[in-house]
Structure 1
Amino acid sequence: MHRSPFLLSLGGLLAMAAAMGVGRFVYTPILPPMVEAIPLTKSQAGLIASANFVGYLAGAVLASMRLPGSRRLWLLSSLAATAICLLDMGFASTMPVFLALRFLAGAASAFALIFSSALVIDRLAATGNGALSAVHFAGVGVGIAASAAVVALLLQAGAEWTTLWFASAAMAAAASLAVLWLVPRDQPTGQTVQRPDGTRLDLDFAALLAAYGLFGFGYVITATFIVDMVRGTPSLAHLEPYIWILFGLCAAPSVVLWTALGRRWGILRIYAVACVVEASGVAASALWLHPASILVSAVLVGGTFVSLTALGLVATRSGGGDPRGRIALMTVSFSIGQIVGPAFAGYVYEATGSLATPLLAAVAALLLAALLALLADARRRAVSPST
């Protein structure tokens, strides 16, 4: 079955919106009413977020193995699993069930990311339409913005937190049905996938690997707790319906901007710049709890976190050696940063009543990531001065 490049990229956008924008990140706007109603402690909220990232790590490792069946089947199965996990969150009431469901949803989101990217980006590149891959990655921001708007409208209508999960499941299911039509069949992965060879851990890649993990830690605290922080601060509470929508709206077009800058000025240099911009956004909310600073934080962090994910993987593929082995190691490093961030922030938040210390730690992590990216760039240029 043939699909035009635009329809194919639209299918990728909807897959990313369902699995990542909704399945992975809708927890952020649902967290505040969920914490109040159950109730949950801040450390428990952080652990639930970390469980999702542990699942993402497990799913990414499993999805990189030689699996039977077609990539399309794995993609559709992961999208179905995402919708089911979202639905079941509305019926759950205990920590073990919350942790298990968010773990499974994290694994499903990793499968959807990997298999949708393999299906969509490979086909777009093969037809000379690689630029449309930005539409695919924009799905994360679109899913965040759309689910945030639905959550905000339901909260204003007096909906309970369980209804928010049910509505999120319905959104993910609707997007998945569209993906079923937009993304055509492919050949079984078991016929084409081979094991990657060993990966050489040279100094420039080691620096990039560490930078990617620090970025995972640096963005995820804001991405997990910004709505909860807004709700808990009287002078900011009026922004709750809008802050996560703004976050998603800034994420959606950001990949186009940052990758274009990367092509002009160098991927690793722009990666470092984006880390500094994101650190400024995190610092804005850490140092000054004011409507203006929170809006700045949403714009700067929302406008960089998806792009930094993409830039890191682009830098990995252009670094020489076996890209699959390197991408697997990058995924592990990124996941470790994401796992540690919410759990650390939740415990400190509960102990001190403030996110200032975890956010400042995130700022330091992002600035260190920028320095490491520049180190990796300098070493690559020393080896290949023409690049």
Structure 2
Amino acid sequence: MTQSPAAERPILVAAAGAITMAAAMGFGRFFYTPVLPGMMIDLPLSAADAGLIAAGNFAGYLAGAMLAAYGWAAGRERPLAISALGLTGLLLAAMAFTSSLPLFIFIRFLAGLASAFAMIFTASIVLPYAAGKPAVQSVFFAGVGTGIAVSSLVALLINGFAGDAAHGWRWNWLAGALLVILATVIITLRLPKPRAGHRPAREPPIAWTRPLVLLTASYGLFGFGYVVTATFLVAIARLSAAGPLVEFFAWFVTGIAAAVSLFLWRPVARKIGVERVYLVCLLVEAIGVVASVLMPPVAGTLLGGLALGLTFITITAYGLQIGGRLAPQSPRRALAFMTVAFGCGQIVGPLVAGWATQWSGSFTLASIIAALVLMISLALMLPLAGRVSGY
């Protein structure tokens, strides 16, 4: 497909990438959060079952990220990104046609793999346009939060139409699938081909310095700590009987905050450095995780969603940026190892949270464990706090 010069303007490329991120991540990965409470009531699913399904999705994402790291996809990024996004839509629809726990886990595993392909291959096309233009990267990653916000609105409307969230979960999956398929059509028309001359060179083996080891461990623990709230926030609101509007606004606030988070933190990073912003965000997130279960239901879930949205994309982006700086000769290898650590944390987090909730009868214990893990993640990064580097 021939692209016009206007179609390759960096901000338009970023917008096309943001649509992919909204569909692949906001719906493909995180739509499970607002749909989960209805599934838990109607099927029913236990908290441990819900954790297994979430872990399956994150395991698929990890597998997709690892597979995408090899050179087999060079020159095929665009068709792979589009195909993966289309497959994500079909897999969302498949969730509506089963009640089997093993099938749920398998479908979500495949959806995680497809969303990873869509995100990584789209990023390989979009991010070369971001050189010297931080706004391009911010717009691109804002797609995740935008997708989360839209998904919360979809869940609210579908549940209202169904008259009962417990019976609307199948329609939610179908509505999400329809929107992802629509997004696939749009990016087929708007996503350009990769820029020429951006094929990466082979990197030397990574040099494991102490700061890089600490960062990788911190990043993996962050994956554990953030994912508990990211998976169960709406279920926490449901269990506390906060009401459907609070459930909607908790996830909507998460999405809106995530969409603007990089724009908000960028001037702060210029003043105090990305390492210190990383630390501040971990602290804010830990506070939000605890607030979501210890404060009154309305204030707690809204504050928990706000803290999550303001921090998780920024920690992800800045953590990878720091990793690239700590391994200047092998930045992609460093990012790959960090992604593996993060992915392992994401898989273990929902499992531990599900089991802890099943044992204790509430999400309080799971959230406190997550907050403690986030504080350990912060402590590991304290030796790097003296580094002041602009964004």
Letter in 2 for 1:84: L
Distance 2:16 2:244 in 1: 36
Q: 1:120 — aligned with what?
A: 126
Structure 2 SS opposite 1:67? helix
- How far 1:316 moved relative to its partner? 1.0
- Residue of 371, 381, 386 corresponding to 2:379: 371
Contact 1:66 1:194 in 2 (8 A): no
In structure 1, the residue matched to 2:42 is: 37
1:292 positional shift: 1.4
User: Could you tell me which of 94, 102, 111 is aligned with 1:105?
Assistant: 111
How many angstroms does 1:161 deviate by?
1.3
What is the aligned partner in structure 2 of residue 138 from structure 1? 142
CA contact (8 A) 2:14 2:126 kept: yes
SS in 2 for 1:253: helix
Q: Does 1:268 align with 2:275?
A: yes
Which secondary structure does the structure 2 equivalent of 1:347 belong to? helix
Structure 1, 176-185 or 328-337: larger mean CA deviation: 176-185
Which deviations, in whole Å up to 9, do the C-alpha atoms of 1:341-365 show, x marking residues without a partner? 1111111111111111111111111
Whether the aligned pair in 2 keeps the contact of 1:205 and 1:376 (CA below 8 Å) is no
Q: Secondary structure of 2:252's partner?
A: helix
Is the counterpart of residue 243 in structure 1 residue 250 in structure 2?
yes
Select 2:23's aligned residue among 18, 29, 35.
18
The SS at the match of 1:160 is: helix
| Structure-2 residue corresponding to 1:57 | 62
CA 161–195 in structure 1, closer or farther in 2 if over 3 Å, else same: same
TM-score by length of 1: 0.93
TM, length-normalised to structure 2: 0.92
Q: Quick check: 2:293–2:301 contact (8 Å CA) kept in 1?
A: no
Q: Which of 345, 348, 360 is matched with 2:353 structurally? A: 345
* 1:227 equivalent in alignment to 2:234: yes
Contact 1:18 1:172 in 2 (8 A): yes
How far did residue 187 of structure 1 move? 6.7
Which of the residues 279, 284, 302 maps onto 1:277? 284
Query: What secondary structure is seen at the aligned counterpart in 1 of 2:103?
Result: helix
The aligned runs of 1:143-162 (5 Å cut-off) are 143-158=147-162, 160-162=168-170
Distance 2:110 2:378 in 1: 32
Deviates more, 1:62-71 or 1:81-90: 62-71
Residue identity matched to 2:337: L
Code of the residue aligned with 1:137 in structure 2: it is: F
1:173 matches 2:165: no
CA distance in 2: counterparts of 1:237 and 1:6, whole angstroms: 36
Moved over 4 A (4+): 235-238
C-alpha contact 2:258 2:311 (8 A) present in aligned 1? yes
Question: C-alpha offsets along residues 271-305 of structure 1, whole Å, 9 cap, x if unaligned?
Answer: 00110011111111232343112211111112111
Q: CA deviation at 1:259?
A: 3.2
Closer/same/farther in 2, CA of residues 328 and 289 from structure 1, 3 Å limit: same
* Structure 1 unmatched runs, 5+: none
Unaligned stretches of 5+ in structure 2?
Answer: none
Measured against aligned partners, the alpha-carbon deviations of 1:239-277 in whole angstroms (never above 9, x if no partner) come to 123221111111110012223322321111110011001
Deviation, 1:207, is: 0.6
Q: Distance in 2 between matches of 1:203 and 1:70?
A: 37
Q: Give, in whole Å, the separation in 2 of the partners of 1:85 and 1:103.
A: 10
Contact map agreement 2:249 2:302 (CA 8 A) in 1:
no
